């Protein structure tokens, strides 16, 4: 079955540590996105990539980094510079080329800073 | 910058009845796309319905329909014959159609939690 997988489902981090969230898709989508979800704030865009080896900052990129070395994979690193990283992180993908195209979402990763 | 506002943090509906969730947005663009996503307790986001701004006809998908008022910048979701499985958080989202600035990103509202009572 085609879809998006995110791992781990739950992640705990000590302050000062970097952690990497995995996102893999087998939908053959060119575009991939990372969103952060906080209670009462909806989803906000962290980074996006419309093609392999290229990515751009979203609205809240500070303290995060990404890579896009393969079409299928778009890992997100939460660095120690991120002041308040505890949140739910969602990865999404879509075919590029038309804004009407549906974005498909993964099941998410819940990150908690201890 | 575009913004999306959902002014109802929580709503409830009796099973088999109809409920309408509100969404307003602010944009200076004339061409754009609007979406409603559902996030059930599993937290998996699912597309419910979408609307193209240049189409006056309201979109419908089975029991789900929208009331799109472009001049008022309003995009409400109507759920008919509500079912227990409709209980979820619903997000309204905006996406620009401007090719030069089209990152494909979705701009989300704050969400509305819908409770369905048996």
The string of pLDDT tens digits covering residues B24-56 is 999 999 889 999 999 999 899 999 999 999 988
Confidence of residue A40 (pLDDT cuts 50, 70, 90): confident
Place B98 in a pLDDT band, splitting at 50, 70 and 90: confident
* A85 beta partners: none
Query: CB-based contacts of A13: which residues, under 8 Å, 6+ apart?
Result: A19, A78, A85, A111, A112, A113, A114
Contacts with B80 (C-beta within 8 Å, 6 or more apart), sequence order? B18, B63, B64, B65
Percent of chain A scored above 70 by pLDDT? Answer: 98
Q: What is the DSSP letter of B16?
A: T
- Give the other-Cβ count within 10 Å of A24's Cβ: 18
Work out the number of other CB atoms within 10 angstroms of the CB of residue B80.
14
Binding-face residues of A in 46-85 toward B, CB within 8 A: 48, 50, 56, 58
Residues 17-76 of chain B with CB under 8 A from chain A are 32-33, 37, 42-47, 50, 52
| Partner B contacted by A40 (CB < 8 A) | yes
Across B84-109, average pLDDT: 86
Of the pLDDT bands very low, low, confident and very high (cuts 50, 70, 90), residue B101 is: low
Burial class of B73 by CB neighbour count within 10 A (0 to 12, 13 to 18, 19+)? middle
Nearest-CA distance B83 → chain A (Å) = 23
Question: To probe the interface with B, which of A31, A43, A101 has the most B CB atoms within 10 Å?
Answer: A43
Write out pLDDT tens, residues A42-68. Answer: 899 999 998 999 999 999 999 999 999
Burial class for B20, CB neighbours closer than 10 Å (0-12, 13-18, 19+):
middle
pLDDT at A113 over 70: yes
A34 contacts A46 by C-beta, under 8 angstroms: yes
CA atoms of B54 and B46, how far apart (whole Å): 24
- 8 Å CB contact of A94 and B104: yes
Mean pLDDT to the nearest integer, B75-103: 89
Chain A nearest CA to B75, separation (Å): 16
A108: tokens are 């998410």
Mean pLDDT of A92-111: 88
Across all residues in chain B, what is the average pLDDT?
Answer: 93
B44 CB neighbours in chain A (<8 A) are: 105-108
- Look at residue B103 and tell me whether its pLDDT is greater than 70: no
**Predicted local distance difference test score (pLDDT) of residue B71:** 94
Percent of chain A topping pLDDT 90: 75
Contact in structure between B13 and B117 (CB atoms under 8 Å): yes
CA distance B37 to A6: 19
Pick from A79-88, B23-32, B71-80, B102-111: least confident: B102-111
Q: Pick the residue with more confidence: B42 or B77?
A: B77
CB atoms within 10 A of CB A82: 23
Q: What is the average pLDDT score of chain A?
A: 92
Between B37 and A41, residue with greater pLDDT: B37
Instruction: With cut-offs at 50, 70 and 90, classify the pLDDT of residue B11.
Output: very high
Q: How many other β-carbons are positioned within 10 Å of the β-carbon of residue A62?
A: 10
A101: CB partners within 8 A, 6+ apart: A94, A95, B104
């Amino acid at each position: 079955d085609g879809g998006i997988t995110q791992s781990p489902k739950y992640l705990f981090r000590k302050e000062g540590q970097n952690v990497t969230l995995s996102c893999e898709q087998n939908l053959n989508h060119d575009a991939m996105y990372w969103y952060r979800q906080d209670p009462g704030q909806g989803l906000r865009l962290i980074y996006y990539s419309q093609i392999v080896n290229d990515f751009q900052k979203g609205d809240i990129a500070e303290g995060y980094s990404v890579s896009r070395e393969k079409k299928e994979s778009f890992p997100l690193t939460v660095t120690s510079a991120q002041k308040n990283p505890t949140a739910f992180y969602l990865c999404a993908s879509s075919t590029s080329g038309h804004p009407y195209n549906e974005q498909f979402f993964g099941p998410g990763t819940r990150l908690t800073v201890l | 910058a575009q913004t999306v506002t959902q002014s109802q943090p929580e709503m409830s509906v009796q099973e088999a009845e109809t409920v309408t969730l509100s969404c307003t947005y602010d944009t200076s663009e004339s061409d754009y796309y609007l979406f409603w996503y559902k996030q059930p307790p599993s937290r998996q986001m699912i597309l419910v319905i979408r609307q193209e701004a240049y189409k006056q006809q309201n979109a419908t998908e089975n029991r789900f329909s929208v009331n799109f008022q472009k001049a008022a910048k309003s995009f409400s979701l109507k759920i008919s014959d509500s079912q227990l499985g409709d209980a979820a958080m619903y997000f309204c989202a905006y996406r620009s159609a401007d090719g030069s600035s089209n990152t494909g990103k979705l701009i989300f509202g704050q969400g509305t939690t819908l409770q369905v009572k048996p």
